[in-house]
Amino acid sequence: MADVPRLRRDVLLEVKAKIQQGVLPQWVFADPDVYRAEVHQIFAKTWNFLGHESEIPRPGDYVTRWIVHDPVLLLRDEQGEIQAYLNSCTHRGTKLCTADFGQRKTFTCPYHGWTFNLNGDLVGVIAGNKVYGQEMDRSQWSLRKLPRVASYQGMIFGSLNPDAPSLMSFLGDLKWYLDIMLGRSDGGMEVRGVPQRWIIHTNWKVSSDNFGGDPYHTAMTHRSTVELGISPKDPMYASYGHQVVLNHGHGINLITAKAGLNVPPYQGLPREMWPMFERNLTPAQRQVFEKTMIMVGTCFPNLSFVSPMHGTGGPDEPLTSFVNFRVWRPIGPAKIEITSWFMVDKQAPEAFKEASYLSYIGSFGPAGTLEQDDAEIWTRVVEASQGTMAQDKDVHYNNVLNYLMGLGRVEPDPTWPGPGIAYPTCYLDAISRAFYEHWIDALLAEQDTDVLVPNR
Ligand code: FES
Ligand SMILES: [Fe+2]
């Protein structure tokens, strides 16, 4: 039997060279060593989205989340500050809080009953003085805080890396586009309902890359929406607009209607909201937002967003926009848990909020039409990537997938008013190429040994 291939630096350098040529070795979608390296080299070092400030508005409000395999207890303390702890008891390590969300002043561990307050202090030990005596210093046994927590436009991120660059510098030029989605209205956005969670059998890169850089799939994968008359019959319909490559592996597509078609400005948002856009957005941001129908992209590595216009169910209903953020949490090389947040402008009229929610549920909710289409296809990508042929790492064998669209053929648009490198089409693999180049650079970073992961 042949040796199990090792994830060596020279192999990774070869992957990088391939990406720069516009192709990607298929084995990276299902390789356990790649997965282990990603957990340590990417997810343990970057900023990870945890939740929105509107989910925990009052002291004592909490939600439980994950950063890959680290359980997180995210809450608002008595001082109104946001805190994030490892959701693991400091006594024997069991998960402290098992609810998805709630409101409380203290958390009592279900194993031996140690109790912690909102500051993470150990404030209750069953039979404490009898079994530990006075000498045990309880202040040594507080909940463990995440090394870093920070927010932008109400979006709370955490990092396991004390030396991570600031959240602002991590988001970089993506902030300009997040402002359009999240900062356009007075008071920002609110999460409506609780985020939905579900599991699908794919690799996190497949979904991140799809949302980040793949408007090309819409005409085929989502063909049912064309047949139902929800999407235009034009096979180029998701190509119009701009694909913008941003720093740090992020990317966004700002999809417009075909030239000459009459679509409502600002994604059909109610006219009474427009003065807020004047107050909160710059003229350049408004210029982009006014003619955009769909915003879809990825904040590297695994936070994606989509803000399309979609029907709410009734045949005569106008298309209604929504804002949806989702985390593709890796839980193995071939498994992700999706957490999906529906967000809407706090100051939007109630009727719009409800229509927007229905629009989301019908399209990108767990049972939504478009969501179902994508999940099925992404599952098949990984199914087809696990076999002997797809996993062959022989660099001389042309075992690669095609990311060539637009390479050397499409030039950036110098008139684009926003930051980033903007190309005048969304049928393009520029964001995907940048995404994978950033990914491979992260795997290659700070490696001073020849072998990244020891032989299995
Ligand atoms: S593990 Fe929490 S009290 Fe023992
Ligand atoms: Fe899709």
Angle separating helix axes 283-291 and 174-182, nearest 10 degrees: 70
Give residue 220 CA to ligand 2 midpoint distance, Å. Answer: 9
Residue 428 pLDDT greater than 70, yes or no: yes
From the CA of 110, the nearest ligand is: 1
Q: Which ligand 1 atom sits nearest the alpha carbon of residue 94?
A: 1
Count of other CB atoms within 10 angstroms of residue 139: 8
From the CA of 214, the nearest ligand is: 2
Burial class of residue 280 in the structure, from the number of CB atoms within 10 Å of its CB (0-12 exposed, 13-18 middle, 19+ buried): middle
CA atoms within 13 A on the CB side of 65: 31
Pocket of ligand 1 (CB under 6 A): 89, 91-92, 94, 109, 111-114
Res 447: pLDDT: 53
Res 105: pLDDT: 98
Residue with tokens 């669209």: 405
Q: Which ligand 1 atom sits nearest the alpha carbon of residue 92?
A: 1
pLDDT digits (tens, 9 = 90+) for 8-31: 899 899 999 999 999 999 999 999
> Angle 156-159-160 (CA atoms, 0-180°, nearest 5)?
145
Q: Which ligand 1 atom sits nearest the alpha carbon of residue 89?
A: 2
CA atoms within 13 A on the CB side of 1: 4
Q: Which of 85, 86, 87, 92 to mutate to test the pocket of ligand 1 (most atoms within 8 A of CB)?
A: 92
Question: What percent of the chain clears pLDDT 70, i.e. is strictly above it?
Answer: 95
Mean pLDDT of 101-121: 98
Give the residue whose CA is nearest to atom 3 of ligand 1: 112
pLDDT grade for 314, boundaries at 50, 70 and 90: low
Give residue 356 CA to ligand 2 midpoint distance, Å. Answer: 19
Res 415: pLDDT: 98
Count of other CB atoms within 10 angstroms of residue 263: 14
Map out the domains of the chain with their CATH numbers. 48-152 (2.102.10.10), 172-443 (3.90.380.10)
Count of other CB atoms within 10 angstroms of residue 162: 8
pLDDT digits (tens, 9 = 90+) for 348-373: 999 999 999 999 999 999 999 899 99
Residue 453 pLDDT greater than 60, yes or no: no
Say how many Å lie between the first and final Cα of the chain, rounded. 14
pLDDT digits (tens, 9 = 90+) for 388-398: 999 988 765 67
| Mean pLDDT computed over every residue of the chain | 93
Burial class of residue 396 in the structure, from the number of CB atoms within 10 Å of its CB (0-12 exposed, 13-18 middle, 19+ buried): exposed
Res 164: pLDDT: 97
Residue 132 pLDDT greater than 50, yes or no: yes
Residue 6 pLDDT greater than 70, yes or no: no
> What residues are paired with 51 via a beta bridge?
156
pLDDT grade for 3, boundaries at 50, 70 and 90: very low
Residue 409 pLDDT greater than 90, yes or no: yes
